[in-house]
């Protein structure tokens, strides 16, 4: 392990932790009582948790990776980057994608997305001030994934990226920016910020219009993408998601890729939600693609 890592396991006692802390500078191994017990339920279930940092310029981004126990871990595991942060995507409430990966013997990583504040009004102001804050997220995500590859927790070609709502937008933008990320998708995704009420007064500005996902369709051509959205999602606009799907298909067709590279499920879910069925179906599709594509 590199400096800045914290390994949390149900099998390591506090005395061992103190001994290893004294022996290895910058590395701290703790038991399930550490970190205020935040990860205790996951550790009790057998998962192994590592907190680590990844360098981005002159700062470091904190991330968390969770792995099944060694006897359940696949010999060549796929890594899921679930965008949104460990406090909500490795810990409840948004854990269906992570749980699917753990159940099938694969790893999950997440990190706090500082460039996406909780308030979309604040995010709007950041967008208007420029430059596009998505670029900060992309740099951070690439640094986290590089650290995972360097630590042998994953290898290129076996990484899946997903997100929910605004974080689905970020996941897809990351795929568009990184040629090595070829499998991913979003649930109830933001696809055009002009549809959100927080951007209503700024929807005609180029800074907002130029962030819509359809403009990145060419960079996503050939990649496996899963989308699911309720049929009347007024929060992020179902029709904009459908338009993005059509633009992805057009980009794939133009480059000779099959239209089945993109899956869109318009679901009967009410409002800005997706039922577990659509999460599970999506994760099954994406994991299968990551495994089979790498085997070709």
**Given this model, what pLDDT does residue 35 score?**
52
In this structure, are 53 and 199 located in the same domain? yes
Beginning with the edge strand found earlier in the chain, give each strand of the sheet holding 28-30 in spatial order.
28-30, 6-8, 48-56, 59-67, 107-111, 79-82, 159-164, 183-187, 224-230, 262-267
- Mark whether 58 and 88 lie in a shared domain: yes
Domain end: 11, 29, 46, which one? 46
Query: What CA–CA distances, in Å, run from 81 to 107, 128, 156, 169, 236?
Result: 9, 28, 13, 14, 23
Residue 129 to residues 55, 122, 133, Cα–Cα distance (Å):
25, 11, 10
Number of domains in the chain: 2
Q: What pLDDT, on the 0 to 100 scale, is given for residue 116?
A: 87
Parent domain of 9: 1-46
Cα separation, 164 vs 201, whole angstroms = 25
Same structural domain, 136 and 41: no
Residues 51 and 23 in one domain: no
**Both 31 and 54 in a single domain?**
no
In this structure, the answer to whether residues 26 and 54 fall within a common structural domain is: no
Give the three-state DSSP class for 11. coil
Nearest to 79 by CA among 223, 224, 183: 183
Q: What is the pLDDT of residue 30?
A: 37
142-145 long-range Cβ contacts below 8 angstroms, 24+ apart: 142/174, 142/178, 143/54, 143/55, 143/56, 143/61, 144/54, 144/61, 144/63, 144/81, 144/109, 144/111, 145/79, 145/81, 145/109, 145/181
Instruction: Check whether residue 168 and residue 230 sit in a common domain.
Output: yes
Q: Could you give the dihedral angle defined by the CA atoms of residues 168, 170, 173 and 178, in that order, rounded to the nearest 10 degrees?
A: -110
Residue matched to tokens 């979003």: 186
pLDDT along the chain (296 residues), means of 10: 52 34 33 65 92 93 95 97 93 95 98 88 92 95 97 95 97 98 98 95 93 98 98 96 98 95 96 95 98 70
Instruction: Tell whether 42 and 62 lie within a shared domain.
Output: no
DSSP reduced 3-state for 107: strand
The CATH number linked to 73 is 3.40.50.1820
What's the confidence (pLDDT) of residue 19? 30
Q: Are residues 88 and 113 in the same domain?
A: yes
Question: Are 78 and 191 found together in one domain?
Answer: yes
CA distances, 163 to each of 73, 97, 152, 204 (Å): 23, 9, 24, 26
Q: Do residues 160 and 130 share a domain?
A: yes
């Amino acid at each position: 392990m590199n400096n800045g890592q914290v390994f949390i396991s149900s099998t390591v006692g506090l005395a061992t932790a103190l001994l290893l802390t004294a022996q290895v500078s910058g590395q701290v191994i703790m038991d399930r009582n550490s970190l205020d017990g935040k990860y205790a339920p996951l550790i009790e279930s057998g998962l192994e948790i590592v907190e680590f940092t990844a360098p981005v310029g002159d700062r470091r981004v904190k991330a968390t990776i969770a792995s099944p126990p060694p006897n359940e871990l696949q010999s060549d595991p796929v890594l899921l980057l679930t965008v949104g942060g460990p406090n909500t995507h490795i810990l409840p409430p948004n854990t269906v994608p992570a749980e699917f990966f753990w159940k099938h013997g694969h790893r999950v990583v997440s990190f706090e997305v500082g460039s996406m504040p909780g308030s979309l009004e604040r995010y709007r102001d950041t967008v208007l001030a420029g430059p596009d804050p998505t670029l900060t997220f992309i740099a951070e995500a690439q640094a986290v994934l590089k650290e995972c590859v360097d630590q042998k927790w994953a290898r290129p070609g076996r990484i899946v990226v997903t997100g929910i709502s605004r974080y689905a937008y970020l996941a897809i933008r990351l795929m568009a920016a990184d040629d090595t990320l070829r499998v991913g998708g979003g649930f109830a995704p933001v696809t055009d910020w002009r549809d959100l009420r927080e951007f209503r007064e700024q929807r005609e500005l180029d800074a907002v219009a130029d962030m819509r996902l359809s403009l990145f369709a060419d960079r996503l051509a050939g990649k496996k993408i899963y989308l699911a959205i309720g049929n009347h999602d007024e929060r992020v606009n179902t029709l904009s998601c459908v338009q993005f799907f059509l633009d992805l298909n057009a980009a794939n067709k133009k480059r000779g890729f099959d239209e089945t590279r993109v899956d869109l499920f318009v679901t009967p879910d009410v409002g800005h939600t997706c039922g577990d069925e659509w999460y599970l179906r999506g994760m099954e599709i994406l994991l299968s693609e990551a495994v089979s594509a790498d085997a070709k």
